[in-house]
Amino acid sequence: MPKEAEFGPRARILRLLRAILDQPNRYTRQELADKFGVSVDTIRDDFEILANADFVLAPDDRHRYAFVTEKPLRQLKDLLHFSEEDQAALYQAIDNLYIGSERARNLKAKLASVYDFHRLGHAYLRKPHLTKVDLLMQAQREKRQVFLIDYRSSNSNKIETRRVEPFHLSPAEDTLQAYDAEKRTLRHFRLSRFSRVQLTDLPWAFEGHHVIMHVDPFRIVDNQQVDVHLLLGVGAYNELVERYPLTRSHIEETDDPNIFDFQCRVNHRFFGLSNFILGFYHQHIEVLAPEGLKAFLREEVGRMRF
């Protein structure tokens, strides 16, 4: 029986939640039952418990489960973001609890360090980044258009200011999904690629076109994702998780300590993934599936000219 079965039901449910958050549409009920060493009926009961806590699950056409919305994951990420008003409230609460004490000074120093540009390790929580996030959240809440000042576009190879309607924000993934009001099309933007956000007084005019797209671990937005399966050597594993940290949750160890199993859903054009494979094939990368990825890589190699 799997090791997970040694834990109680509460620990299992937490591990179940984590498994589905990490790899949506990866597991069927039977596969989850096998993974945790319980019956399918027990997994069904676990799903009901999660649903009662607003973690609603639904199957895809292959009976593999994912959460209906990103609400649970957004709730976790929201804990990492405080507006300036939130920070002020926290300072006031600290003063009320520990008036003039050493503990109050220590707590304030910790809070300040979390939002200090020079000391913080996570770029998406630094002050300049948080200012962008605050303004984009305000624009989304008030349904206002904004200017993304000096956006550095890889597609056009230009630096331009873009007028957009922001409707979906993922700070930890460094992505903004918005409708480009001038080009009249859905776009996704990297938060780190524009210098600042400027609010406008213009209301949303294209709300009917706001459609949230799936984002893969390579930060490519695409609703036509496909399953991929690779085996990675140690060097390839290191390069993948260091260059694309979001892939880490899709990698599992194998019986061979020098081989890692990578399975996830990626954009159907294989952007990001194909660059990684072609750049680091010498580090031991074995493509197991799909056949379409193998064919794409062969075509890419055939188009190379030296």
The domain spans of the chain are 3-69, 84-124, 127-209, 226-301
Class of domain 3-69 (CATH, top level): mainly alpha
Task: Kindly compute the dihedral angle of the four CA atoms of residues 170, 195, 211, 124, in this order, to the nearest 10 degrees.
Answer: 0
Q: What residue type is 301 in one-letter code?
A: V
Closest CA to 183 of 201, 161, 212: 161
Q: What residue type is 245 in one-letter code?
A: P
Write phi, then psi, for 97 (nearest 5 degrees).
Answer: -80, -40
CB atoms within 10 A of CB 171: 22
Cβ atoms of 47 and 57 within 8 Å: the answer is: yes
Measured CA to CA, the distance from residue 54 to residue 79 in angstroms comes to 17
Topology of the domain covering 226-301: Alpha-Beta Plaits (3.30.70)
Closest CA to 20 of 55, 48, 61: 55
pLDDT tens track, the chain, 306 positions:
444 444 567 788 888 888 888 788 889 999 999 988 899 999 998 888 888 776 778 888 888 998 875 454 444 444 455 555 555 566 667 666 666 677 777 776 666 555 443 333 344 445 566 788 889 999 999 999 999 999 999 878 899 999 999 999 887 677 899 999 999 999 989 888 999 999 999 999 999 999 888 889 998 888 899 999 999 999 999 999 989 888 988 999 999 999 999 999 999 999 999 999 999 999 999 999 999 999 999 999 999 888
Burial of residue 258, with CB atoms counted within 10 A of its CB: 0-12 exposed, 13-18 middle, 19 or more buried: exposed
Length of the chain (residues): 306
Topology of the domain covering 127-209: SH3 type barrels. (2.30.30)
